[in-house]
Amino acid sequence: MTASRRALRADARRNRDAILDAAGELFAQRGDAVQMEEIADRAGLGVGTLYRHFTDKKALRAAIIGRRFEEMTVLAQAAEEAGDPWAAFESLLYGYLEAAEPDAAFRFALLGPEEPAWADIEDQKNAFAAIVDRIVHRAVEAGRLRADFEAGDFILVTRAAMANMTGGGRWRRLLDLQLEGIRA
């Protein structure tokens, strides 16, 4: 849990979580067509309470990503402990995508029409990115991942797979093809 989230009073934290849950459900169903008033209504809160927590939909999308990144960071830490660099990379990649698959709101927030307010979740993003960077670097140094692969390429691979999470697990086929192309 982030320091700013811990600092919230218990009722404010419940309200924030209710807003994020409601926004997640609505974004997953209808994308960016959702209005802030609908999110407040779904959360059982007034629109003023919603705006005290989030200034706009960009901030809401960022918070959805930030909440998932907190979980992804724990997953990445576990993957980093693998002794084999390729196993660590593959564990991170599959774990990340398997966690993203049922979370349509997270995928929408990342792949949606507007960039989220990254500055709002810089700590969560940086914590996750640092581990990804170490895992990628270790796999490249070990000769298990192609020499020109960079941590930023992890984003390209995961976004391509997430864009193909339309049911039926076809994203796994895409990922298999991608892994064949990036393995050293």
DSSP letter for each residue of 30-71: HGGG--HHHHHHHHTS-HHHHHHH-SSHHHHHHHHHHHHHHH
CATH of domain 1-54: 1.10.10.60
pLDDT at site 10: 86
pLDDT at site 3: 47
Which of 72, 66, 74 is closest to 2 using CA atoms?
66
Which of 52, 25, 29 is closest to 39 using CA atoms?
25
pLDDT at site 6: 53
- Looking at every residue in the chain, the average pLDDT score rounds to 90
CATH of domain 57-182: 1.10.357.10
Structure tokens at 21: 């849950």
pLDDT digits (tens, 9 = 90+) for 73-110: 999 999 999 999 999 999 999 999 999 999 988 998 88
pTM for the full model?
Answer: 0.83
Which of 127, 130, 139 is closest to 82 using CA atoms?
139
Domain ranges of the chain: 1-54, 57-182
Give me the percent of the chain exceeding a pLDDT of 90.
Answer: 68
Contacts of 178 (CB under 8 A, 6+ apart): 157, 160, 161
| Inter-residue contact 78 to 85 (CB < 8 Å) | no
Task: Please report, in tens digits, the pLDDT of each residue of the chain (184 residues total).
Answer: 554 555 568 888 899 999 999 999 998 888 888 999 999 999 999 999 999 999 998 899 899 899 899 999 999 999 999 999 999 999 999 999 999 999 988 998 889 888 888 888 999 999 999 999 999 999 999 999 999 999 999 999 999 999 999 878 889 999 999 998 888 7
